[in-house]
Amino acid sequence: MSTTSHARARRRDRLVYLRSHPLLFGLLAATRGRPVRRLGRTLLVHGPEAYRQALTRLPLDRTAAGTTGAAARSALRDGGGGAGGVLFDQEGGGHRADRRGLARALGGAGVEDLRSLWRPLLVRRLAPLDRGGEVDLVDLARELSGSVVCALLGSGADPRAVAGAAAEAAAASVRSHLPGPRRPRAEAAAARAADRLRLLLGPAGAALPAMVAVAAVNTTVAALPRAVAWCADAGLWEQAADEALRPVLADELLRVTAASPLLPRVAAADGAVGGCPVRGGDRLLLVARHAAGAHRHDPDALRPAGPAVDRLVFGAGPHACPGARLARAQLADVLGALAPYRPVVTRARVDRGAALPGWRVLTVRAGARTAGVAGAGS
């Protein structure tokens, strides 16, 4: 592992931002010199403490236009056309009840059950590497995430179809809520995409389960290929092969890739963030990747940032992502399955239309030095 290798990994990973949302991420990069910067009624929040304060101490309007909750509520409305709670827009008892339900499914025992599902899938999908073939990690992530979602929701739908519908629903919803002039048919397109997902999920297709599908699929498809590409480019396979270091490396890679790099929120009341006064109605752009130091500190399981920092990519406080344990276990198992092959990236193409920054195609093949031993170790 060298500075040059990490620079190569960082250059490749930066492309997912520069080719999907160049103006937005240019603005974020230009303003990250301060923990908080105000531009009119918008606050750009970069510092870790200010980021935590915004999520844990400042009252937030979770249904305001332009927030994750508003996008989820409008796209994943309930079957009767109302606005059923979708976790992102909830507070109080309803939020706690839904969180408890997810916590049971995504707790330690639940994740171990899901591991018994995805480990055989990894063996099957990575088998071409034994024969000198290539594997598209994006396609693998779609099947893996779709399989996990179907298992969580008890759905008999085709996992690939679920993953495709969840990706389409998320991308359409993001397009309908982008700042700027109103897009005449964008909200209708987002609603149709969400309806297709709900129909596909069958009895499980109410608003909350559909939200679980959208969140799980899109974060997995964004995070896993980017993490593997960074691991390959930076030469971190020795750490990935070490059972003790692997979970730490997974946390580090999730920190620097920050699948949901930006959290849009709106203040519900006056307050302060990072010493900067906030008025009710102010818009906050919480930059998770900067709060977690993704732009400064390269991933290294021997010198990790630690849970106080790396967990920030999953949010903070009562609304932190309930799928964090699942994401860490999933990536650790993917890294463990790939480590014997020491894969190298052979092709990478950015997905310009996805809801989250990521790859449309990310293919790997076994590294030349270990291709002969890969089959024996897997």
Local confidence band at 284 (pLDDT 50, 70, 90 cut-offs): very high
Q: For the segment 294-347, what is each residue's pLDDT rounded down to a tens digit?
A: 999 999 999 999 989 999 999 998 878 889 999 999 999 999 999 999 999 999
Burial of 130 (0-12, 13-18, 19+ CB in 10 A): middle
Q: For the segment 21-37, what is each residue's pLDDT rounded down to a tens digit?
A: 888 888 888 999 999 99
Residue in this structure with the two tokens 């099947």, named with its chain if needed: 143
At 362 the pLDDT is 98
Q: Residue 79: what residue type?
A: G
At 86 the pLDDT is 44
Helices in the chain by DSSP H: which ranges? 3-18, 22-30, 48-56, 68-75, 92-106, 108-126, 137-153, 159-176, 186-201, 207-234, 237-241, 246-257, 288-291, 307-310, 324-338, 371-377
Reported pTM: 0.88
Q: For the segment 196-212, what is each residue's pLDDT rounded down to a tens digit?
A: 888 898 876 677 788 88
- Work out the average pLDDT over 254-278: 94
Q: Is 299 helix (H, G, I), strand (E, B) or coil?
A: coil
Residue 110 has pLDDT above 70, yes or no: yes
At 318 the pLDDT is 80
